[in-house]
Amino acid sequence: MSGSAHLPDGTKAGLRRALLAARATLTSDDVREREAELARRALALPELARARTVAAYVSVGTEPGTRALLDALRARGTRVLLPVLLPDNDLDWAPYRGAGHLVRAAKGLLEPDGERLGPQAVTRADAVLLPGLAVDERGLRLGRGGGSYDRVLARLDRAGADPARVVLLYDDEVVAQVPMEPHDHPVHAVVTPGGVRRFGRP
């Protein structure tokens, strides 16, 4: 599994622009086809197979699709938590009760309509699925720049929690290097339609 993306101008912003432009070329059929393969590979991960609680998210637009995975996890009895965006860009969490219980929210997101469990709920998850635009060969993740998941990862560290941290991407979004900043946290695995790559965790 290898990535073809590179840093157009040596910055996170430049890489984000290039990756978002590539995603914009995908059709809905492209997304659905890759979503099925992503779900198949992710469900085979031991980290998800043994997880009682998984913190995840609902994909939107041309993001790597998560909906098939969310439904499959829920069907096999896994408790799935989904984020609720707060006004300060931090994340609250609520249980996923099925696609019929998702509501439109700010920034084009879909959020669960159930009971809010508080930002600390993520620290009790056995695995956390993280959105992203790229992961490099060190396991460093490039997000969209809003900082929501940087807060989540920092919260996990402060709580001494060590869930499996997994990113779902397209094949060409595994890149050689993304610029590193002090607040960046490596992930444990990246899942793409083409395979799984692990970083520093068996």
SS (H, E, C) the chain: CCCCCCCCCCCHHHHHHHHHHHHHCCCHHHHHHHHHHHHHHHHCCHHHHCCCEEECCCCCCCCCCCHHHHHHHHHCCCEEEEEEECCCCCEEEEECCCHHHEEECHHHCEEECCCCCCHHHHHHCCEEEECCCEEECCCEEECCCCCHHHHHHHHHHHHCCCCEEEEECCHHHEECCCCCCCCCCECCEEEECCEEEECCCC
Q: What pLDDT score was predicted for residue 166?
A: 96
Q: Taking the model in full, what pTM does it have? A: 0.89
Instruction: Enumerate the β-bridge partners of residue 175.
Output: 136
* Mean predicted confidence (pLDDT) in 152-174: 93
Average pLDDT score over residue span 30-58: 95
44's tokens: 């085979």
pLDDT score of 10: 62
Residue 140 confidence (pLDDT): 92
Q: Which domains does the chain have, with CATH numbers?
A: 12-198 (3.40.50.10420)
Percent of the chain surpassing pLDDT 70: 93
pLDDT given at position 5: 42
Backbone angles phi, psi at 115, to 5 degrees: -60, 135
pLDDT by residue (tens digit) across 82-116? 999 999 999 999 999 999 999 998 888 899 998 99
Checking if the pLDDT of 4 tops 60, the result is: no
Q: Per-residue pLDDT averaged across 126-138, rounded?
A: 94
Using the predicted structure, report yes or no on whether residue 29 has a pLDDT greater than 90.
yes
